[in-house]
Structure formats: C-alpha cells, structure tokens
Structure 1
C-alpha cells in the first residue's frame, strides 16, 4: 500500500494462553509471544507487520493483560504508550475489543477500527490488505464487517459464516450480508458446508465504525456498554483511570464478541462479510502447527526449536524442543512431542484438540506451577 487508510485504527487483542498448545504456550509465555512458523518473529510481531501498512505505526493499539505489558512492548518497540490498553484481568473478547473501541471513539468519534487476533497466521499480504480495504469501505456505510475464509477442507475446528445477498458498495465488490453465524459443526455438517460454498470460516476479524460497534454492545449488553463508557471517559486521565478500572472492570460481563455483537447484528441485517482469499490459520492446536511447518508433506517430521537435537527415522508429525536433550523418533506417524524443562507432552495429531483437557486437569489437581 502507498499510504495507510486515513480513518482506520487497527486493534490487536493479545490475550489467552493458547491452552491447546500446552506446554509450549503458558500463562507467562502465551501463544502470541512464540515464533511458531520459523519467520524469525513472534506471532504478535508478524501481526503488527501485517497491519502497519494499513494503519501506520501510530494507529495500532494492543489490548493485553498487565502481566504481558513488558513482553508486548519489547516485541513492539514502536507502539505509542497511549495505545497499550491493559486489562487487569481477562473478561473475554467483548470487554477487550469494546474497551479499545470506547477509548478510540472518545478520542476520535468517527474512527473505524479493525480487530485482528495476535496469534493467527496469515500468508498473502497483498490479498489480506485488499480484503481489509473492502471491509473498511463497508464499515463506512454503517455495517459491522467481518472477513471470512473460504474453507479448504470440511473442518470441525472452526465456526462458520453463512453468506447472504450481495451488497452494492463502492470499493467493496465482494461484500455480502451475513445470513447467520454457525457454531463448530460435526464432520457430516462440515462436509455439507464445504460443498455448499456459501459458508466461510469465522476468522474472528471485525471491522466497523467504533460508534456502530458500541451501539450493538449497548443493545445486547447495556450494563457492559455503560461500564466501557465509564472506562473510556477516564482512561486518558492517569489520576482518574486507576480508581475507575478497579471499580468497573471486575463488574463487566464475560461474553465473546460473536454472541454480543456478531450474532445480533446478523439477525438485524447489520453484519456484512468480505471473503478473505489468503492463507489463514488460527494455530488452534498441534495438528494445525504440524501442517504449517511440514512443507505440505504428510510424511514429514516438522521440528521447532533453535537447539533441537533430534534423530528421526520414518517419522511424521511435529516435535518442539526447548531443551538440550537428544530425542529419537522412530517409525511413528502423526506424532506430537513437546519437550520443555518441566513438562513433556506426547500425543498424536488426531488427539491434539484434547490437550486442553490436560490443562483443565492440571488446574483441578493444583499443578498450576506448570501452566
């Protein structure tokens, strides 16, 4: 792009621990602070690099937890201090994105914001930029716009977006209404969606005028909206911010933005979608990570770790090493091995989604020291 989009502000929600990537992803080193693709950058930095041409370095904001502030600012040395919005504790995506929307709308009433997760992998920068440019054009018309990914397989790991009628909007030739959002389906249903071609994967990207987004929150979650406005009005006054955050933040409802904004907006005809014709992955588990790093070969063993010492013979899957141990992998298919100083995970790609259950079990048994 020659110039950033003048009325656009990019937002990066950087939260969550990525529990399906345990023990690689931890509370103190979550997924977005790892290089999972061999790019030489963390996922957070890669996200910044994608968004900088669209917004400019002074118009990118990050919402993250207080515990991760130092790491985020180390990864993003160019981010202005005023654009780091800290959560005192996680309250789910509506509070995180809504907080940023309320602060930015207070500073710049007509601003358009775009929310893009800190821990997704996108390849095809120019195509991504074109999708965002279209989404901004749609947002200027008063819609909330999302970017959906045309499925490449009948996946059960993603939610889906059902496209509706085409929209006629200058600068957005691929825009369409959203008929409905669909939860993660079973395999037979996913096959039907894949064959239908009017269904897109929900990639969790939302672009809208900040005041329009807040209006949807006000309709579906009025108490949450009121709290966000209180926070925004005090945010840029350092003396006033702390007491308001301490009073308001713990009272905010925990609800995902899909439920508070996207689904109600779709029902009212206020939600639009742009197909994103770029490679996208939310790196939701080790099976996804193996695909990203296998070079497209199912018989390949992908190895991550700068000091990995691995002997492999007719093995496939993924091995992540954070130790100096020699690891031998012989005659196994679709294996997942993650070796860290204090925890070892061994599973298969087929069972990669079940890693979250291990994390839940460790919490219940009081083994938080390894989380």
Structure 2
C-alpha cells in the first residue's frame, strides 16, 4: 500500500477518456423504496421508474453514467422478480452479467456474489459498486472520482467515494477522513464510519470539515474484497466463491448466505485497520429517499408546483409542492402549499414535503392489513 503523508500530494487522477482497463461496474438494483409509494412498490421499485423526467429510468441513467468508464463490463444484481424488467430496460446487457437473487440478503451478499464472478474471470479485476437508484449530476466529476478510486484500489485499499455534505443531514451515515495518501490527488485515509447522527452531532461533523456523507459507493479489487470478507465473515465469502464456481447451486447456497450490509461486513472493520481510503466526490448526489428530496432536485422554485409526468394534466392555482401523475387524470391544486400529490391507477397519496419520510408508515399499515396487492 502507498504510505500516507501529511503533505499535499501532487499527483493527478487519471482522466477517463475511455473505459478504465480492468474496471467492472457492479450495480446492485434492489430495495422497495417504501417512502416513494405508490410509485415505487415491491414489484416495481423506484430504480425502474423515470422520476426525474429525463426520459431514462434511474437504472438506465446509472448504467449510462458507467458505460464510459466500464464499457461493456457492467454487472447488475437484482431480485429474480425484476430480471425481466431489467433486461427490457437494458437490452445490451449480456445475460451472464445479470445476476438474479432468489431473495433479498442485503448488500454484502449481492456484491460478494458479483465479486466472486469477476474474480473467477480476472483475478486482478477492480469493481466499483454503485446503487441503481441514485441521481448524480456532473458526470465529469463523477468519472474523475471513480478513476482515482480505481488507482487507489489497485494499491490494495477498499475505496469509498465520500460526498461533500451540504447540510447537517441526519438520514445519511458519515465518513471521517484522515491524512492524505501519497501519490494521489485527493484520496485520504478513512478514520472511521459513523452511523446516522442526530441533528446536533451532524452539525458538529460539518463544522470540523473532516466528514463526508457515505453514499455506499465502493471501489476495490474483487479478490481483496473477498479476502477481507473471509477474515470477518468466512462462510459468506466461501459461499459467494462456491456460487461463482457452480451457479447451479444458487438455490442451495443462497438462503444460507449471511444477511448483512457491506458497510458492517467489510468497510467498518477494514477502516479500523487502516485499509480504507476515501476519494471526495464533488459531483451532485441524491439518493431520492422520499418525495421531499425528489422535489428538491427537480427544476423549479420552491414556491412553485413541480410536476413529474404530463404537465398538461396538472393545474396549479396559488399552490406549491410536487405532483407525480401517472394515471392520466387531471390533478388540480387550489390554495395549498408545500403539498405532495402522487397518483397512480390504483392509489392516491396526499401529504406534505415535511412529512414525506412518513410515507413508509402507509406501506407498513397496508402490509399489516394484508393489502399486499398495493405494496
């Protein structure tokens, strides 16, 4: 590994003018996005929807962003129920680069499976894991961060891309940065990962200038990831490698893989041993956790009504908020402010941006009532 130094490194990250040699993009496409109900549901999660009005779904936009860096070397890991939809949205994805999970096992099992498949193809492969449902702006800055992260990963580090925090968020985990790594432009040692803080602690983190948001983006050699996983969760690492060696054993092996997030399984213990680095991400990033955050990233002033869908089907009079319209019915707002209206063929949601996080409670209530057809 490269020695760390307190001096400012003078090396520059490579410029991604074409696919990065040996780099594979891994896209975990899972989760139900319950705070974005009724658009996002178990059978049609948020990554399959165009929530930004770009004409591309979140999944398609993610792969579009990664193609210049990885070329055809893209692997998508998704639930078995979503493979047909993913294939339809990504017709150029090779069948052996779409891995179908029989059931959710959290992020570590999905990424470990992909890593084992890549390790078997190329022992020196470097993978980058990027969620299918995040929105990123400034693709050039994203490409530069990934390129530097790949260089750092080749030195044996687990590399995370940390987002510059713009406010004291309580919904994200944080990464505390340490000293720079010699030979790299912006990479630093990670001192620790911190769970989601309360507002007071989040404000203290920002005041130090040492913390970045943890967006769950990891870049690491496939073999390094599995070897580290084998130190702390040996059965999970062995199971992933066995699955890559014999895919016919999927139904046998998958249920016994430990259910744990990559942060807890590898990133946190590796950081304690000085094995994790962070590259700062200066691009725009949002995980679209709810309709409030969605409205914040869409064009339009805060005192206007933002529309996702057919603009002609929404009439707004002295009102503000966000309307997501999928049914084709006319939606009229009169004298209401900070409102969220989401309507589909079989459901209507009305809330405020301030209470958008609580939409998940509706999904919980529907499940409790046995209304599975709506969730």
- Length-normalised TM-score, structure 2: 0.94
Q: Which residue does the alignment assign to 1:33?
A: 48
Counterpart pick for 1:127 among 141, 158, 165? 141
Counterpart pick for 2:245 among 212, 229, 233? 233
Indicate yes or no: 2:114 matched with 1:93: no
For structure 1, which segment, 114-123 or 188-197, has the greater mean C-alpha deviation from structure 2 after superposition? 188-197
Show structure 1 runs of 5+ residues with no match: 236-240
Q: Which residue does the alignment assign to 2:286?
A: 281
Counterpart pick for 2:265 among 250, 260, 266? 260
Q: Which residue does the alignment assign to 1:212?
A: 224
Contact 2:310 2:328 in 1 (8 A): no
Q: CA deviation at 1:186?
A: 1.1
Q: CA deviation at 1:333?
A: 2.0
Aligned pairs (5 A) from 1:291-370: 291-295=296-300, 297-306=301-310, 309-370=313-374
Indicate yes or no: 2:55 matched with 1:43: no
d(CA) in 1 for partners of 2:328, 2:100: 36
Contact 2:321 2:340 in 1 (8 A): yes
For structure 1, which segment, 38-47 or 302-311, has the greater mean C-alpha deviation from structure 2 after superposition? 302-311
d(CA) in 2 for partners of 1:197, 1:285: 27
Show structure 2 runs of 5+ residues with no match: 1-15
Q: CA deviation at 1:307?
A: 6.8
d(CA) in 1 for partners of 2:114, 2:327: 39
d(CA) in 1 for partners of 2:196, 2:236: 26
Q: Which residue does the alignment assign to 2:129?
A: 115
Q: CA deviation at 1:141?
A: 0.3
Contact 2:53 2:309 in 1 (8 A): no
Contact 2:170 2:199 in 1 (8 A): yes
**SS of equivalent residue, structure 1 residue 128:** helix
After superposition, the C-alpha distances for 1:25-74 in whole angstroms (9 at most, x for unaligned) are 011211101111111100111111110010102x1110011111111111
Q: CA deviation at 1:325?
A: 2.2
Indicate yes or no: 2:194 matched with 1:176: no
For structure 1, which segment, 262-271 or 309-318, has the greater mean C-alpha deviation from structure 2 after superposition? 309-318
4+ runs of 1 displaced by more than 3 Å?
Answer: none
Contact 1:338 1:346 in 2 (8 A): yes
**SS of equivalent residue, structure 1 residue 28:** coil
For structure 1, which segment, 105-114 or 182-191, has the greater mean C-alpha deviation from structure 2 after superposition? 182-191
Q: Which residue does the alignment assign to 1:104?
A: 118
Indicate yes or no: 2:81 matched with 1:67: yes
d(CA) in 1 for partners of 2:252, 2:100: 15
Q: Over aligned residue pairs, what C-alpha RMSD do you find? A: 1.2
Contact 2:108 2:265 in 1 (8 A): yes
Counterpart pick for 1:272 among 248, 272, 277? 277
d(CA) in 2 for partners of 1:300, 1:110: 51
Counterpart pick for 2:174 among 160, 172, 175? 160
**SS of equivalent residue, structure 1 residue 298:** coil
d(CA) in 2 for partners of 1:293, 1:53: 25
Q: CA deviation at 1:278?
A: 0.3
Indicate yes or no: 2:230 matched with 1:221: no
Indicate yes or no: 2:259 matched with 1:247: no
Q: Which residue does the alignment assign to 2:206?
A: 194
d(CA) in 1 for partners of 2:28, 2:179: 30
Contact 1:302 1:319 in 2 (8 A): yes
Q: Which residue does the alignment assign to 1:238?
A: none
